[in-house]
Chains A and B, each alone.
Chain A
Amino acid sequence: MSGRVAIIGVGMEKVGVATMPSWNLFAHAALSAMNDAGIERSQIQALHIGNVYSSFTERQTNIAPLALSTIGINTNIPSMRYETACASGSVAFRQGYLGILSGMYDIVLVGGTERLRAISGTAIQEAMATSMDVAERSAGLIFAVYWSYVAKAYGRKYQIDDASLQRLLANISIKNHYHGSFNKKAQFQKEISLEDVMNSSMVAPPIKVMDCCPFSDGAAALVLASDSIAKECKKPIWIAGSGQASGSWSVADSTDLATNPAITKAAQEAYRLARVGPKDIDVVEVHDCVNIHEVLCLECTGLLKPGEGIYSAEERRTYFNGDVPTNLSGGLKARGHPVGATGAYQLCEITQQLRGEFDGKEVEDPEIGMTVNVGGTGTVVTVNILRREG
């Protein structure tokens, strides 16, 4: 086994509405990452790419070798596509990491790409819904309904009245838009007000439009390298710990929707491998597809105590200068949510935070950062801990 694995290069396309296919988007991000790493195309030994909906939105499957060809890599290296709903990008990252850790490879390209905005909003919603159970969808389940159940379960558990719950949730969206307003890669680089959120259309009470992230196009890539190669690079960011877990498949069978044991399990594995705990984390990107989920991510990873998460934005604890700086990219709400690429964006953003190179709000001199990427109705979870040395 290789001793350690580091991120030696990152590349991100601006999130929003793209004018090119997802594989072209990824090629741009990949070339940026390789340029950042200072390596040539010929040095890449494997590609792991996350993508969920290209078969729906672009009528194209098998995009891993297509992306490889588009990048201009013609060395017949292995390429794999991963589909684990919104966690696809970070699962691809993790598989690349494990490939190097096993000793099989020394330099691997990983990341994710998605193009959703080429089709209608209705068609996107239909496609995205397929990440949930088909029988429960026939029985009325849509994502907004799921998050409504989660928010209401949380409110009951911690005895928060509906009006307070809506205000507290709105403050999370406001915080993420504030951070996103500084991020040059974000889809929405503008602040929003409490009135903007509270007056937005109700989707499924208490969830409103401005509680939810947008649909986005985007691609992000990272170059990973083994210990011996990374040591020669200018700013390696080490993968200190990585955990993955699967959550309850059926929403109806969940015993407590106000928490997700899979996030806790993945976090515990990552903490154990990194030999750190929640108090050591200096900056985190979490999966705020709907703002209530930021609360669950922070609580289930132990970054905040149960029942604290809902107050964290209003108390400014999760702002860039708070004690748990969260989603300095703007999160899914403001940076955007290019589904199969989102986890890869989080990892690029934390890498840049640790290098002191993030083009947006930064925390001061961070050493350890974390990402929490979650797919479906909490069914796929990855937690990754990154560390800067020296």
Chain B
Amino acid sequence: MAETDKKDLPKYLRCNDCGWSGSTFRMGCPNCWASHLVELESSGIGKIVDLVPVFYPPENLKDLGPYVSVLVEFDEGFQMLGISLVKPEDLSIGSSVVVSSFDKGTMRLLIKLG
């Protein structure tokens, strides 16, 4: 059973015409101008594309303490920014990750090593 079962997972958009996918809500495809975007739920499994340690978190994330900003490419082909509380030295580009938690209200996405 996948580790992400029973969690809220991020949704993404896919274009039925050209296959483009993205994480930010929009009414039309930025690649082919089609209007046939469908909203799907991600598996929550992906790889790190890049990461940046943040030593001084902003006010809205103060409760987390220092964190790592991670740019994740999910298995469905779209990218999304997330937060990892794993030590930066334990993360690298290409690391397999899964969604640890996702808040549909605030869109706060926590990522952990998969």
- Listed in ascending order, the chain A residues whose CB lies under 8 Å from chain B are 122, 125-126, 129, 133-142, 144-145, 148-149, 152-153, 202-205, 249-253
Contacts and interface: CB of A to CB of B under 8 A. Distances in A.
Contacts of A205: 52-53
A86 to B, nearest CB: 18
A249 B26 CA distance: 11
B61 to A, nearest CB: 7
B54 A204 contact: yes
A152 B24 contact: no
Interface of B: 22-24, 30, 50, 52-56, 58-61, 67, 69-71, 78-83, 103, 106-109
Nearest to A205: B53
A338 B63 CA distance: 30
Counting chain A CB atoms within 10 Å of each CB, which of B52, B69, B79 scores highest? B52
Contact of A204 (B23, B52, B60): B52
Given A126-B58, A138-B60, A139-B108, A252 B52 contact: no
Given A139-B107, A145-B52, A250 B24 contact: yes
Contacts of B69: 139-142, 145, 204
Contacts of A145: 52, 54, 69
Contacts of B103: 138
A138 B82 CA distance: 9
Given A125-B58, A253-B79, A138 B23 contact: no
A253 B24 contact: yes
Nearest to A134: B107
A245 B109 CA distance: 31
Contacts of A149: 50, 52, 71
A139 B61 CA distance: 9
B24 A133 contact: yes
Contacts of A202: 55
A51 to B, nearest CB: 23
B53 to A, nearest CB: 6
Counting chain B CB atoms within 10 Å of each CB, which of A134, A136, A152 scores highest? A136
Nearest to B67: A140
26 contacts: A122-B59, A126-B59, A129-B58, A133-B24, A134-B107, A135-B24, A135-B107, A136-B107, A138-B106, A138-B108, A140-B67, A140-B81, A140-B82, A141-B81, A142-B69, A145-B52, A149-B52, A153-B50, A204-B53, A205-B52, A250-B23, A250-B24, A251-B71, A252-B23, A253-B23, A253-B78
Contact of A142 (B58, B82, B106, B108): B58
Contacts of A126: 58-60
A134 B24 CA distance: 11
A126 B83 CA distance: 18
Contact of A252 (B59, B81, B108): B81
Given A250-B22, A250-B23, A138 B52 contact: no
Closest 6 CB pairs of A and B: A135-B107, A250-B24, A140-B83, A140-B69, A139-B81, A148-B52
A205 to B, nearest CB: 6
Given A126-B58, A139-B83, A140-B54, 5 more contacts: A137-B58, A139-B69, A142-B54, A204-B55, A250-B22
Contacts of A252: 22-24, 71, 78-81
Nearest to B20: A253
A148 B71 CA distance: 12
A251 B81 contact: yes
Contact of B61 (A140, A144, A251): A140
A203 B108 contact: no
Contacts of B22: 250, 252-253
A139 B82 contact: yes
A125 B54 CA distance: 14
Nearest to A248: B30
A137 B60 contact: yes
A134 B82 CA distance: 13
Contacts of A152: 50, 52
A292 to B, nearest CB: 13
B92 to A, nearest CB: 13
A136 B69 CA distance: 10
Contacts of B79: 252-253
A251 B81 CA distance: 8
Nearest to B81: A139
A301 B109 CA distance: 36
Contacts of A122: 59
A140 B50 CA distance: 13
B59 to A, nearest CB: 5
A215 to B, nearest CB: 15
Contacts of B67: 140
